[in-house]
Amino acid sequence: MARDPTHFLRTEYEDLVRQDLDWKMRVLSGPSTPWCQVDGKKVLMFCSNNYLGLSNHPRLKEAAIEAIRTHGVGSGSVRPIAGTMDLHVELERRLARFKRAEASLVFQTGFSTNAGLIPQLAGDGDLIVSDELNHGSIIDGVRLSKADKAVYQHGNVEDLEHVLAEAEEHRPSFRRILVITDGVFSMDGDMAPLDRIARAAKGHGAMVYVDDAHGEGVLGEGGRGIVSHFHLSRDDVQVEMGTFSKAFGVVGGHVSGSKDLVNFAFNKSRTWLLSGSHPPPVAAACLAAVDVLEKEEEHVKRLWSHTRRFKKAMSDVGFDIGKSETPITPIIVGESRKAKELSQKLLEQGVFALPIVFPMVAKDKARIRTIMNAALSEDDVHFAIGAFERAGKELHLV
């Protein structure tokens, strides 16, 4: 009898279960709000990427509803054929203005932005230089490229300089060099030293591509991101990538930069060319999110007020929060088992914060990754601090 060719599916999954490395889906019933229903239990949401609480903002919901009335629920095609609506064009115009760039281009997701654009920016005869802790979507985009690849130590500009200097000695010479980094690293909450990275790249004639998924709506003037935070120009950072899926509260990816970049990107990126465009309500909600960020600066200010308070409290209690500089605050406990026990204790006390374990982080660096939300009240933050302190003491972590 022939062996079942799909047998590996079950055996590999069961192996993950045995190692306690499988993902168990939690079901959210209703909107992503500070207090929500997860698996039927009322909990305080403390691990959502919805930094500013915009996913439930009235203006975004109204914009989406109105777009359904005027444009329907789907675009009907991919962007280059019949799927570009006036809403998409207006969103890109407004996003470019917000980013203070010549042009912007909206992709279907952040992942598709990296997977589709990176292989086109650098190919055979080129070199991609990537931070060792870059996001999986960057890693996949780099793997899809035919370019040579090099990795530099996380956030280490001296090591980046060394890699770039070696690249200059390569024969035959590389046509072009692309340096890629996350802006904010999602597991630790630390920022790339983008100003120094840009200087190093410029000194070696390299382009810079920053994935600012976790910096938009968080860093810089009015939440404009890490390029704004470091007061850099488009000559310093040629490709600024981001998403609508986090602080903007909706879904989608995008790049901002020169008109040449955008013209190149939509003619070359197969993920953009061959995927259906955003439904009208999604595009309209993204457009409303840009408008909210421009006009309601209180959301970003409140996010940082909560962040500073929570970080101080966690440090005072005795938790290890690593080197976080952003609203992502890891509570590092070491063993995967301890992180899962802490997550369960928090859930019992009404706080939803998931454990992050190997292989997402090193085996001895398991943690609870918390993400602050501007929609939380001061009482909510106080509630979470109390829950962490009680659970940490009960498990002898502090």
Map out the domains of the chain with their CATH numbers. 25-55+297-394 (3.90.1150.10), 58-295 (3.40.640.10)
Position 35: which residue type? W
Reported confidence tier of residue 171, pLDDT bands at 50, 70, 90: confident
pTM value is: 0.94
**Lowest-confidence pick of 17-31, 52-66, 70-84, 342-356:** 17-31
Report in angstroms the alpha-carbon separations of 234 from 15, 99, 103. Answer: 47, 10, 11
* Structure tokens that stand for 52 in this block: 């500013």
- Mode of pairing for the β-strands spanning 207-211 and 177-182: parallel
Residue 363 has pLDDT above 90, yes or no: no
Give the CA radius of gyration of the chain: 22
Q: Residue 208: which residues within 8 A CB-CB, separation 6 or more?
A: 179, 180, 181, 194, 197, 198, 201, 236, 237, 238, 239
Pair 225, 194: CB distance under 8 Å: no
**Active-site annotation, residues:** 186, 214, 246
pLDDT above 70 as % of the chain: 100
Closest by CA to 249, choosing from 274, 277, 273, 218, is 218
What's the CA gap between 9 and 182, in Å, rounded?
32
Report in angstroms the alpha-carbon separations of 139 from 106, 111, 185, 386. Answer: 21, 10, 14, 38
- Mode of pairing for the β-strands spanning 41-45 and 35-38: antiparallel
Residue 1 has pLDDT above 70, yes or no: no
Report in angstroms the alpha-carbon separations of 85 from 265, 274, 275, 338. Answer: 18, 16, 15, 50
Closest by CA to 249, choosing from 352, 373, 104, is 373
